[in-house]
């Protein structure tokens, strides 16, 4: 699958506060990609950078193979998003809101198409009501309609379940899954709830305090037997070829510094033995706990420290 | 761009607060007309002062539609900036406050385009306000008070003057004055828009723009030579009342007004250029800052 | 033509004999001449010359009805008509409950020898305190008049005669009067300063205003339209 989003070394400071610190990740076409982190971890800042609401301090963002800094309009015309709350013009009806944002996206949908979209999100028969009469869940559904009306390839939802009741959350989940499965859209989804990501996403990234903690396939990352191993060695090249020779995929490496890869906890002693035999010096080796445990410790340090 | 402008105008059209401005203008104009119909003579006496000791004047005829419009504009054009600020000051900050700015900026539209469209929409709103003022303050006054020569009472430096413009020489002056007022009010729109870029609620920029207009107007009216010579020329508010220049009729050496003339066209032209420069700079600065702004709302 | 001849015959002896007349008789002769006009209706233009007034020339109709009623009506609704112009009728200076005439000597003006007559009203409550008439004894015409009043200051008339000199009615009249300085309370106008302000002057003294009244035609002793007075 080709990467549809490539974010590299993204950093952003607000004054002295570092909001994003060297974040890199990629999203493949067709992914439901989860963005997991506590509130304030940098999820929204990253997403806002991707939607060009915030200018990155450094780093690059490429979407659909285009540079966001130079091809903003082209990228945004194929992207739909709900950033934080789904806010619309409260003094206008759902139909009018949808029509306005469709036209801003550069299309002129027919009345039928607009109504069809409102049917898809379950707002048919309420389309003439002013948005100020809507519940949070209805606004969220209208937000989804707005983000989909121009038939984008990529859809980004920032905390779509926020402020919704359980029924609302379940409805939104269904909608997102339908749009991924039925319409083949690539979806980026942020949440502070691991369970939500686990339920919907196939790939994910965890960020904390503006730094990337881990990125990978949800199924693997959430496999309790799996550990993320960070091996610090001055001879990364030799270590790299030794480890890949064992059929292990390196997920991240910095020359002369470290390598990072996933490994079953039980295989770690054998690997260290092998490295020693090869005469590859090891400065430090660190295996992280299972991801869930790790994430919970982030969100609630007192209980899981 | 045209589509965006259409959307912007649609939003303004649909907002209840848009109509507050039109209602306010209608109310002020009607109150003026009622007051002058009831007791315009008192006001005329105030303006004429001791001139009445030396001259006979038909005061009823002097309080005609043209005179009324001038009096109304005189007051209204000091209040209307607030109404313009009410819409233009809300242009960006209102969207930020509502949260729609985020959504808007994730659409394939450049920020410069958004600023230009917001500015154009405020400009069109201003034009419509002026058009409504023309309908109510001018045409309705002409209907109620009739047509006759117009008297302009003016303080020029240390002198007070009364100018009389014949009735067949007035209409074009009003059209020119409304045109000028449109440019002057557009400066207020541009100023409000500029503040709007930095704020996340609409109260701030509206209050800021109105305060600047009030403070500068007060300073503009301080009668101290230092201020008159060194401060006043740099305050844009000094030029807001330039529409009156079209009613300062030129005179021949024996003080007889020359039909179709303006006393000092060069001064009006310069004022217009200064106002236009303000608009260009303010809209340009709005776009510059808006393009560099991180949207955190 | 017959009328003209008649006038010359009638007035001829009067003008010749006037030279020897006392000042009292001269004034009486002028009054008698003016009294021939019982009423008139005249078209005129008024050009007002007052520094603070920038007003166009007003087209007016002047109505007079003896002995001393005068009314100036503008063709247009809005015009500034000098109030004192109501007394442009020199005859009105010689009305009222008697007056005393004092000989003021002679003065040469525009190549004419004029007899100066000072008229003091006998009525002590009269607004007019003193009128000075410069009388052309040859034609029995008042060429200039200065009137001092209690309430309205001093005003002056300079009269030029032509077609209607036989009736003592001027073709042109320059009326000078006092006007108080006009000062608008600042702040009620919010004016546009076009950078052309005149230099502040330290004048608060009453200014002189002038009104030039040019008569184009008279209809003398014909019935006036009703409702004028």
In this predicted structure, the answer to whether residue B255 has a pLDDT above a threshold of 70 is yes
Q: Which of A91-100, B137-146, C29-38 has the lowest mean pLDDT?
A: C29-38
Q: How far apart are CA A57 and CA A61, in angstroms?
A: 12
Q: How confident is the model at residue A129 (pLDDT cuts 50, 70, 90)?
A: very high
Q: How many domains does chain C have?
A: 1
Q: How confident is the model at residue A298 (pLDDT cuts 50, 70, 90)?
A: low
Cα nearest neighbour of A155 on chain B: B106
CA angle B210, B213, B218 (to 5 degrees): 125
Neighbours of A (≥3 Cβ pairs closer than 8 A)? B
Q: How confident is the model at residue B30 (pLDDT cuts 50, 70, 90)?
A: very high
What is the ipTM, given to two decimal places?
0.83
Q: Dump pLDDT digits (tens) for A185-242.
A: 899 999 888 888 888 889 999 888 888 888 888 887 777 677 778 899 998 899 999 9
Smallest Cβ–Cβ distance between C80 and the set B55, B78, B223 belongs to B55
Residue C54 contacts residue B255 (beta carbons within 8 Å): yes
Give the range of the structural domain holding residue C100, as residue numbers without chain letter.
11-183+205-219
What does B176-192 look like in DSSP terms, one character per residue? HHHHHHHHHHHHHHHHH
- Residue C149 three-state SS: strand
Which of chain C's residues have a Cβ under 8 Å away from the Cβ of B80? Answer: none
| Residue of C70, C66, C45 whose CA lies nearest to C228 | C70
Q: Dump pLDDT digits (tens) for A7-58.
A: 999 999 988 898 899 999 999 998 999 998 888 888 889 999 999 999 999 9
Smallest Cβ–Cβ distance between A105 and the set B10, B107, B294 belongs to B107
B contact residues 103-122, partner C, Cβ 8 Å cutoff: none
Which of chain A's residues have a Cβ under 8 Å away from the Cβ of B98? Answer: 87, 89-90
Which of chain B's residues have a Cβ under 8 Å away from the Cβ of A146? Answer: 103
Mutation site for B-interface testing, chosen from C49, C80, C203 by largest number of B Cβ within 10 Å: C80
Which of chain B's residues have a Cβ under 8 Å away from the Cβ of A101? Answer: 103, 107
In this predicted structure, the answer to whether residue B27 has a pLDDT above a threshold of 80 is yes
Q: In chain A, what are the domains?
A: 3-211 (3.40.50.300), 225-289 (3.30.70.260)
**Omega before C67 within 30 of 0, i.e. cis:** yes
Q: Please name every residue paired with C128 in a beta bridge, in sequence order, or none if there are none.
A: C149
Q: Dump pLDDT digits (tens) for A173-187.
A: 888 888 888 888 899
In this predicted structure, the answer to whether residue B228 has a pLDDT above a threshold of 60 is yes
Q: How far apart are CA A143 and CA A125, in angstroms?
A: 17
Smallest Cβ–Cβ distance between A53 and the set B14, B110, B295 belongs to B295
Smallest Cβ–Cβ distance between B15 and the set A14, A91, A103 belongs to A91
Interface of B with A (CB under 8 A): 3-4, 7, 10-11, 14-16, 98-100, 102-110, 292, 294-296
| Residue B297 within any structural domain of the chain | no
Cβ neighbours, 10 Å, residue C2: 6
What value does the mean pLDDT take over residues A79-100?
90
Which of chain C's residues have a Cβ under 8 Å away from the Cβ of B150? Answer: 78
Q: Give the per-residue pLDDT at A166.
A: 84
Sheet containing A66-67, strands listed edge to edge, beginning at the edge strand earlier in sequence: A17-28, A3-14, A58-63, A66-67
In this predicted structure, the answer to whether residue B159 has a pLDDT above a threshold of 50 is yes
Instruction: Quote the radius of gyration of chain B (alpha carbons, Å).
Output: 21
Q: Give the per-residue pLDDT at A294.
A: 66
Give the range of the structural domain holding residue B47, as residue numbers without chain letter.
2-292
The sign of the CA dihedral A209, A213, A218, A221 is negative
Chain mean pLDDT for chain B: 89
Q: Give the per-residue pLDDT at B236.
A: 83
What value does the mean pLDDT take over residues B24-30?
91
Which of chain C's residues have a Cβ under 8 Å away from the Cβ of B242? Answer: 192, 194
Residues 6+ apart with CB under 8 A from C126: C96
Contact flag B256-C57 (C-beta cutoff 8 Å): yes
Q: How many domains does chain B have?
A: 1
Chain mean pLDDT for chain A: 86
Q: Give the per-residue pLDDT at C53.
A: 87
Q: How confident is the model at residue A159 (pLDDT cuts 50, 70, 90)?
A: confident
Q: Environment class of residue B234 by beta-carbon count within 10 Å: exposed (0-12), middle (13-18) or buried (19+)?
A: exposed
Q: Give the per-residue pLDDT at B114.
A: 94
Residue C133 contacts residue C87 (beta carbons within 8 Å): no
Higher pLDDT: A168 or A240? It is A240
Q: Give the per-residue pLDDT at A257.
A: 87
Q: How many CA atoms lie within 13 A of C120 on its CB side?
A: 7
Cα nearest neighbour of B243 on chain C: C192
| CB proximity B251 to C under 8 Å | yes
Q: Give the per-residue pLDDT at C187.
A: 61
Q: How many CA atoms lie within 13 A of A130 on its CB side?
A: 8
Smallest Cβ–Cβ distance between B54 and the set C57, C83, C199 belongs to C83
* CA–CA distances in Å: residue B63 to residues B74, B111, B162, C58, C77: 15, 50, 14, 18, 10
- For B64-135, list the strands marked E by DSSP: none
Q: How confident is the model at residue B279 (pLDDT cuts 50, 70, 90)?
A: very high
Q: Give the per-residue pLDDT at C3.
A: 44
Can you give the CATH number for the domain in which C141 is found? 2.50.20.10
Q: Give the per-residue pLDDT at B230.
A: 79
| Residue of C123, C139, C183, C133 whose CA lies nearest to C33 | C139
Smallest Cβ–Cβ distance between A53 and the set B3, B16, B102 belongs to B102
Q: How confident is the model at residue A93 (pLDDT cuts 50, 70, 90)?
A: very high
| Residue C226 within any structural domain of the chain | no
Q: How far apart are CA A97 and CA A91, in angstroms?
A: 9
Contact flag B159-C52 (C-beta cutoff 8 Å): yes
Cα nearest neighbour of B290 on chain A: A53
Q: CA-CA-CA-CA torsion for B283, B289, B294, B296, nearest 10 degrees? A: -50
| Residue B131 within any structural domain of the chain | yes
Residues of chain C with pLDDT under 50: 1-20, 200-202
């Amino acid at each position: 699958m080709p990467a549809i989003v490539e974010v590299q070394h993204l950093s952003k400071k607000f004054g002295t506060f570092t909001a994003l610190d060297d974040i890199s990740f990629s999203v493949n076409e067709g992914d439901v990609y989860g963005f997991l982190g506590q509130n304030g971890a940098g999820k929204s800042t990253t997403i806002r950078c991707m939607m060009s609401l915030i200018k990155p301090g450094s780093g690059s963002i490429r979407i659909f193979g285009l540079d966001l800094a130079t091809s903003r309009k082209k990228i945004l015309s194929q992207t739909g998003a709900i950033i934080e709350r789904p806010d619309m013009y409260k003094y206008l009806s759902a139909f009018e809101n949808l029509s306005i944002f469709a036209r801003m996206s550069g299309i002129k949908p027919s009345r039928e198409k607009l109504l069809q979209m409102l049917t898809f999100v379950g707002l048919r028969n309420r389309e003439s009501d002013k948005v100020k009469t809507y519940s949070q869940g209805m606004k969220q559904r209208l937000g989804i309609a707005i983000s989909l009306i121009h038939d984008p390839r990529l859809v980004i939802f920032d905390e779509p379940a926020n402020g919704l009741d359980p029924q609302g959350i379940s409805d939104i989940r269904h909608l997102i899954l339908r749009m991924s499965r039925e319409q083949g859209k690539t979806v980026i989804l942020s949440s502070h709830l691991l369970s939500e990501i686990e339920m919907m996403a196939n790939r994910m990234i965890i960020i904390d305090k503006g730094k990337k903690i881990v990125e990978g396939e949800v199924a693997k990352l959430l496999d309790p037997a799996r550990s993320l191993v960070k091996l610090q060695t001055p001879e990364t090249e030799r270590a790299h070829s030794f480890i890949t020779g064992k059929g292990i995929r390196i997920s991240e490496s910095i020359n002369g510094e470290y390598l990072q890869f996933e490994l079953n906890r039980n295989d770690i002693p054998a690997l260290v033995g092998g490295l020693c035999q090869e005469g590859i010096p090891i400065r430090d080796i660190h295996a992280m706990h299972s991801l869930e445990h790790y994430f919970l410790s982030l969100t609630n340090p007192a209980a899981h420290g | 761009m045209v589509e965006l402008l259409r959307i912007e105008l649609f939003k303004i059209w649909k907002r209840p607060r848009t109509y507050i401005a039109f209602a306010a203008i209608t109310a002020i104009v009607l109150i003026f007309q009622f007051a002058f119909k009831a007791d315009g003579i008192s006001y005329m006496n105030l303006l004429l002062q001791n001139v009445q000791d030396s001259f006979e004047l038909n005061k009823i005829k002097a309080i005609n539609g043209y005179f009324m419009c001038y009096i109304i504009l005189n007051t209204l054009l000091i209040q209307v900036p607030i109404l313009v600020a009410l819409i233009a000051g809300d242009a960006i900050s209102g969207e930020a406050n509502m949260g729609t700015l985020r959504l808007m900026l994730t659409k394939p539209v450049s920020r410069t385009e958004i600023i230009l469209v917001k500015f154009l929409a405020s400009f069109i709103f201003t034009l419509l306000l002026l058009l409504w003022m023309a309908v109510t303050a001018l045409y309705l006054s002409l209907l109620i008070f009739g047509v006759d020569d117009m008297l302009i009472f003016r303080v020029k430096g240390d002198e007070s003057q009364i100018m009389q413009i014949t009735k067949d020489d007035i209409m074009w002056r009003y059209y020119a004055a409304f045109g000028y007022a449109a440019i002057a009010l557009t400066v207020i729109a541009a100023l409000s828009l500029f503040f709007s870029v930095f704020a996340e609620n609409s109260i701030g920029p509206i209050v800021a723009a109105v305060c600047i207009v009030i403070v500068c107007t007060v300073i503009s009216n301080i009668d101290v030579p230092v201020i008159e010579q060194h401060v006043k020329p740099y305050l844009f508010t000094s030029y807001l009342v330039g529409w009156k220049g079209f009613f300062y009729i030129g005179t021949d050496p024996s003080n007889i007004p020359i039909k179709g003339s303006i006393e000092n066209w060069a001064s009006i032209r310069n004022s217009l250029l200064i106002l236009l420069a303000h608009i260009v700079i303010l809209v340009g600065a709005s776009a510059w800052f808006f393009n560099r702004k991180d949207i955190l709302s | 033509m017959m009328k003209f001849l008649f006038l010359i015959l009638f007035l001829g002896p009067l003008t010749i004999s006037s030279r020897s007349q006392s000042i009292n008789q001269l004034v009486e002769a002028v009054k008698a001449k003016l009294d021939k006009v019982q009423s008139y209706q005249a078209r005129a233009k008024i050009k007002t010359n007052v520094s603070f007034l920038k007003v166009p020339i007003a087209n007016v109709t002047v109505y007079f009805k003896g002995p001393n009623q005068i009314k100036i009506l503008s063709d247009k609704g809005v015009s500034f008509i000098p109030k004192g112009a109501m007394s442009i009728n020199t005859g009105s200076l010689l009305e009222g409950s008697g007056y005393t005439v004092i000989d003021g000597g002679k003065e040469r003006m525009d190549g004419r020898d004029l007899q100066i007559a000072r008229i003091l009203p006998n009525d002590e409550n009269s607004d007019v305190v003193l009128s000075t008439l410069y009388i052309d004894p040859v034609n029995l015409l008042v060429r200039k008049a200065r009137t001092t009043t209690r309430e309205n200051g001093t005003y002056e008339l300079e009269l030029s005669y032509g077609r209607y000199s036989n009736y003592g009615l001027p073709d042109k009249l320059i009326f000078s009067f006092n006007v108080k300085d006009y000062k608008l309370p600042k702040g009620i106008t919010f004016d546009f300063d076009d950078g052309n302000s005149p230099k502040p002057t330290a004048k608060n003294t009453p200014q002189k205003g002038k009104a030039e009244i040019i008569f184009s035609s008279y209809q003398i002793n014909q019935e006036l339209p009703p409702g004028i007075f």
